[in-house]
Chains A and B, each alone.
Chain A
């Protein structure tokens, strides 16, 4: 599986969003499942998948599907 596939799989599993909705317009609170609780499962899912640990600023800034890719770059993960 490519890194992108793994990134996508975490989104699909943790906030129950279908693959075709994984794009620029997927942002925090844009779907009911990406609320504050969903956010933490998403972060936990990514941390497990990529063996990283995000600090609070990155957790807070993780505001969209697209921006998340930028944030993970800081942890040397190229999506």
Chain B
């Protein structure tokens, strides 16, 4: 997919202690070739370090299917997944003490552990990555993506954003998140550079690093823009930023307006995008030139993606501005979900069509506008949360709740509870969502229909009313 060449002296990665050229990656690829086997499932615990990104890219080149894990993962979770998936190798920058794995080699801050068990998963090497979707609400379910998914979606993104070899981006997103991963894929495919930092946009080191290494492109999810919209156009020009991309949920109008104004003054191309992991990463992109006229839109489908709107009955909606379910088909539609390695053995794309679960409409010029979610799944700051699972978890804690999401915030409605600070912190720890993104709202009595089912629309108005009253 990346086709690294030995004579390529251009910079792939910039890190604290130096650079890694594309030629270096080719050399490392040959080194890793002797330690890996195509089709042997491997775990990678991801971090924003040059080692983690290099291991990812090299193993993709070597046709080693990778299950990507977040760096904060607990050991028992890895153990659980290892039981379900029987990987041959695990790359981690921490010490593994569980049985069945021996330390084989060190690679910078990372260690490679090899299974000493006879049971090793061999899967189709056209499977590229498995990305966990549901965080810690419910069973860990993986989105399975093929090499073709990654390559084709990356091409579409490169075209839509005009990514060139002179571009230089920064690791402002985790790489085990489909948006973060797409930033790596597209920049490596375009021969561009990636500056590696573990710092976030509200830390001085982040800005010092991107200034020092002349970063040109920043990508962010909505909460990143709390910081990005505070930087002056002058500062952006001094650093040399010429492109900013946004995805992972809707940016509040006010911040969108602010970012638009900054981008215009600093001559930054500001792209608003839409996507999901099941669509590999990106579905649509709004070109910066259209931002003012199509304010609030998420743009048009990128190359390789067909997009349409359907009614609840499955009928195609042809009228502009008529709301319905957002559906796509194309080379970016994922292979399927997996919970254990057995699911991977029989994985065949069921259909090329993907129901995104998002509700929206196309305007008369074909621009997509999103208006809501069909399923009880929320996205908070780029993290996907199954609202029904949240209510099951609070039930375990001894609370009866109904969760909803409004503007990417999680609201947990309760009936007549006075003491709920504890609930918020417990829940926050369990679903790994920051407590500030969770609001507990006491609404008296849940609105139900005759069958006893919750009336969510009514609940939403009750929550809003409750918040407005303070």
Interface residues of A (CB under 8 A from B): 14-16, 33, 35-41, 43-44, 54-56, 59-61
Contacts of B370-429 to chain A: CB distance below 8 A:
381, 421, 424-425
Q: Measured between C-beta atoms, what is the minimum distance from A63 to chain B in Å?
A: 9
Whether B434 lies near A33 (C-beta < 8 A) is yes
Whether A14 lies near B200 (C-beta < 8 A) is no
Q: Give Cα distance in the complex from A14 to B424, angstroms.
A: 12
Which one of B230, B235, B435 lies within 8 Å of A54 (CB-CB)?
B230
Range for the number of chain B residues in contact with chain A:
20 to 34
Q: Give Cα distance in the complex from A38 to B202, angstroms.
A: 11
Contacts of B207-240 to chain A: CB distance below 8 A:
207, 223, 226-227, 230-232, 235
Extra 13 A-B pairs, beta carbons < 8 Å, given A16-B425, A60-B202, A60-B203: A14-B436, A15-B436, A33-B436, A38-B435, A38-B436, A40-B227, A41-B434, A41-B436, A55-B232, A56-B227, A56-B235, A59-B230, A61-B204
Q: Give Cα distance in the complex from A44 to B435, angstroms.
A: 15
Which one of A37, A44, A54 lies within 8 Å of B434 (CB-CB)?
A37
Q: Give Cα distance in the complex from A55 to B202, angstroms.
A: 11
B347 adjacent to chain A (CB < 8 Å): no
B437 adjacent to chain A (CB < 8 Å): yes
Q: Measured between C-beta atoms, what is the minimum distance from B431 to chain A in Å?
A: 14
**Binding site secondary structure of chain A:** helix
Which one of B203, B230, B381, B421 lies within 8 Å of A55 (CB-CB)?
B230
Q: Measured between C-beta atoms, what is the minimum distance from A51 to chain B in Å?
A: 15
Q: Give Cα distance in the complex from A15 to B436, angstroms.
A: 7
Which one of A16, A33, A44 lies within 8 Å of B226 (CB-CB)?
A44
User: What B residues does A36 contact at CB under 8 A?
Assistant: 200-203
Which one of A14, A16, A39 lies within 8 Å of B202 (CB-CB)?
A39
Q: Report B194-206 CB contacts with A as 1/0, cut-off 8 Å.
A: 0000001111100
- CB contact under 8 A between A35 and B434, given known A16-B425, A59-B202, A60-B202: yes
- CB contact under 8 A between A38 and B434, given known A16-B421, A16-B425: yes
Which one of B223, B227, B232, B381 lies within 8 Å of A59 (CB-CB)?
B227
User: What B residues does A15 contact at CB under 8 A?
Assistant: 436
Q: Give Cα distance in the complex from A46 to B268, angstroms.
A: 30
**Binding site secondary structure of chain B:** helix
A-B contact pairs, 14 of them (CB 8 A): A35-B434, A36-B203, A37-B223, A37-B436, A38-B435, A40-B223, A41-B434, A54-B230, A56-B227, A56-B230, A56-B232, A56-B235, A60-B203, A61-B204
Whether B231 lies near A56 (C-beta < 8 A) is yes
Query: Which of A14, A16, A40, A41 has the most B CB atoms < 10 Å from its CB?
Result: A40
The 9 closest A-B pairs by CB, nearest first: A41-B436, A36-B200, A56-B230, A37-B434, A40-B226, A56-B231, A60-B204, A39-B202, A36-B202
Q: Measured between C-beta atoms, what is the minimum distance from A53 to chain B in Å?
A: 8
User: What A residues does B424 contact at CB under 8 A?
Assistant: 16
Q: Measured between C-beta atoms, what is the minimum distance from B47 to chain A in Å?
A: 15
Q: Measured between C-beta atoms, what is the minimum distance from A6 to chain B in Å?
A: 16
Q: Measured between C-beta atoms, what is the minimum distance from A71 to chain B in Å?
A: 13
User: What A residues does B226 contact at CB under 8 A?
Assistant: 40, 43-44
Q: Measured between C-beta atoms, what is the minimum distance from B230 to chain A in Å?
A: 4
User: What A residues does B204 contact at CB under 8 A?
Assistant: 60-61
Nearest to B235 among chain A residues (CB) is: A56
User: What A residues does B437 contact at CB under 8 A?
Assistant: 37
Nearest to A39 among chain B residues (CB) is: B202
User: What A residues does B200 contact at CB under 8 A?
Assistant: 36
User: What B residues does A38 contact at CB under 8 A?
Assistant: 434-436
Q: Give Cα distance in the complex from A41 to B436, angstroms.
A: 7
Q: Measured between C-beta atoms, what is the minimum distance from B297 to chain A in Å?
A: 26
- CB contact under 8 A between A33 and B435, given known A44-B226, A56-B231, A59-B202: yes
Contacts of B234-277 to chain A: CB distance below 8 A:
235
Q: Give Cα distance in the complex from A39 to B201, angstroms.
A: 11
Q: Give Cα distance in the complex from A36 to B203, angstroms.
A: 8
Q: Give Cα distance in the complex from A16 to B436, angstroms.
A: 9
Q: Measured between C-beta atoms, what is the minimum distance from B380 to chain A in Å?
A: 10
Whether A16 lies near B203 (C-beta < 8 A) is no
Q: Give Cα distance in the complex from A35 to B437, angstroms.
A: 13
Q: Give Cα distance in the complex from A37 to B202, angstroms.
A: 9
Query: Which of A15, A43, A54, A59 has the most B CB atoms < 10 Å from its CB?
Result: A59
Q: Give Cα distance in the complex from A61 to B230, angstroms.
A: 13
Nearest to A13 among chain B residues (CB) is: B436
User: What B residues does A43 contact at CB under 8 A?
Assistant: 226
User: What B residues does A55 contact at CB under 8 A?
Assistant: 230, 232
Q: Give Cα distance in the complex from A40 to B230, angstroms.
A: 11
Nearest to A37 among chain B residues (CB) is: B434
